[in-house]
Amino acid sequence: QKTRSGILGRLGAIFQENEITEALWEELEETLIMGDVGVATTMELVERTRDRVEREGIKSTRDAYLVLKQEMVRLLESDEPLHIDEPRILTVVLVVGVNGSGKTTTIGKMAHYYKQRGRKVVLGAADTFRAAAIDQLKIWAERAGVDVIAHEPGADPGAVVYDAIRASQESRKADLLIVDTAGRLQTKFNLMKELEKIRGVASKLVHRAPHEVLLVLDASTGQNAISQAKSFKESAGVTGIVLTKLDGTSKGGAVLSIKRELGVPVRFVGTGEKLEDFALFDPVAFVEGLLGDS
């Protein structure tokens, strides 16, 4: 059993003291910053909580704590529906992100998740660059029991996507295609352009595709997460985030800033390296995890 030592684990204790003091707000700020929430978002959250506590005449630290949780959950919630679940002949999901964030693993887990929910899933191996990326995806596909459409290493990713869509529509009769892409740092202009091209191929073949573009974000990422979300939103049209490696001691607080600044919601979480370590994002559970309160 892994220890549940959330960096913000102390927070519950702070709020068990009786008096709401200046020190409490400072400690709160400190703990949020240590959870990678970022200075600006931390300040805003604390301010909003303070305002409400004063306006609503809240006297107990317990109630103040609940206000904070509410504010964090409210920031993370999204009204936008997840487009994967909509009825459609073929739904195309594009998975993007920086190197090593967990894209290929996430796709394996996601294939399993949707297969179990009755979908016919196909994977597209459009990372033709990284050594053994195609082999890795094939192993995951086998674990999940789904098909993969792949070319040789070094092939054009656009051509892979083209074939993957065609195969999904025709021979495989799939209703969900999930496309793996090579990891790329958001500052690499040409590689980001390549994502635009992949999008173009998908949208020509399938109405409004890709229907979801998921940015896979490692929970241990610090403030660079915001730069990632910004760039991948611009180039690839990111619609949601998969927050991976939440089984580690990092709690992924950067997603609060991403939601606040860019409006991009978290959709799924990855909590390990096994097929089942994947779930829909639950803002309440996430906040409790972040605050070390679950």
Ligand X SMILES: Nc1nc2c(ncn2[C@@H]2O[C@H](COP(=O)(O)OP(=O)(O)OP(=O)(O)O)[C@@H](O)[C@H]2O)c(=O)[nH]1
- Interaction site with Mg ion (CB under 5 A): 103-104
Residue type present at position 61: T
Give the count of residues interacting with another protein (CB under 8 A).
Answer: 47
Query: Does residue number 185 form part of the binding site for another protein (CB under 8 A)?
Result: yes
Q: For residues 146 and 122, what is the distance between their CA atoms, to the nearest angstrom?
A: 6
Nearer to ligand X, 126 or 176 (CB): 126
Query: Does residue number 133 form part of the binding site for ligand X (CB under 6 A)?
Result: yes
Q: Which stretch binds ligand X (CB under 6 A): 51-59, 117-125, 141-149, 267-275?
A: 267-275
Instruction: In angstroms, give the least distance from the CB of 188 to Mg ion.
Output: 16
Query: Does residue number 221 form part of the binding site for ligand X (CB under 6 A)?
Result: no
Token match 């305002």: residue? 51
Q: Which stretch binds another protein (CB under 8 A): 9-17, 192-200, 207-215, 223-231?
A: 223-231
- Spatial CB neighbours of 104, under 8 Å, sequence gap ≥ 6: 127, 133, 136, 137, 140, 180
> 228, exposed or middle or buried, with CB in 10 Å at 0-12, 13-18, 19+?
buried
Q: Which stretch binds another protein (CB under 8 A): 74-82, 169-177, 213-221, 284-292?
A: 213-221
CB 236 within 8 A of CB 193: no
Strands of the sheet containing 91-96, edge to edge, are: 147-149, 121-126, 176-181, 91-96, 212-218, 240-244, 266-270, 278-280
Choose the one of another protein, Mg ion, ligand X, none that binds residue 270, judging by a C-beta under 5 to 8 angstroms depending on kind.
ligand X
DSSP designation for 152? -
Choose the one of ligand X, Mg ion, another protein, none that binds residue 145, judging by a C-beta under 5 to 8 angstroms depending on kind.
none
Q: Which stretch binds another protein (CB under 8 A): 75-83, 161-169, 179-187, 279-287?
A: 179-187
Instruction: In angstroms, give the least distance from the CB of 58 to another protein.
Output: 27
Instruction: In angstroms, give the least distance from the CB of 41 to another protein.
Output: 12
Q: Which residue is nearest to ligand X (CB)?
A: 183
- Spatial CB neighbours of 260, under 8 Å, sequence gap ≥ 6: 41, 44, 75
| 32-to-8, 9, 40, 45, 218 alpha-carbon distances in Å | 7, 11, 11, 9, 18
Residues 82-101 binding ligand X (CB under 6 A) are: 97, 99-101
**Interface with another protein by CB under 8 A: which residues?**
2-3, 5, 7, 30, 33-36, 38-39, 98-102, 129-133, 135-136, 138-140, 185-188, 218, 220-225, 227-228, 245, 247-250, 253-254, 273
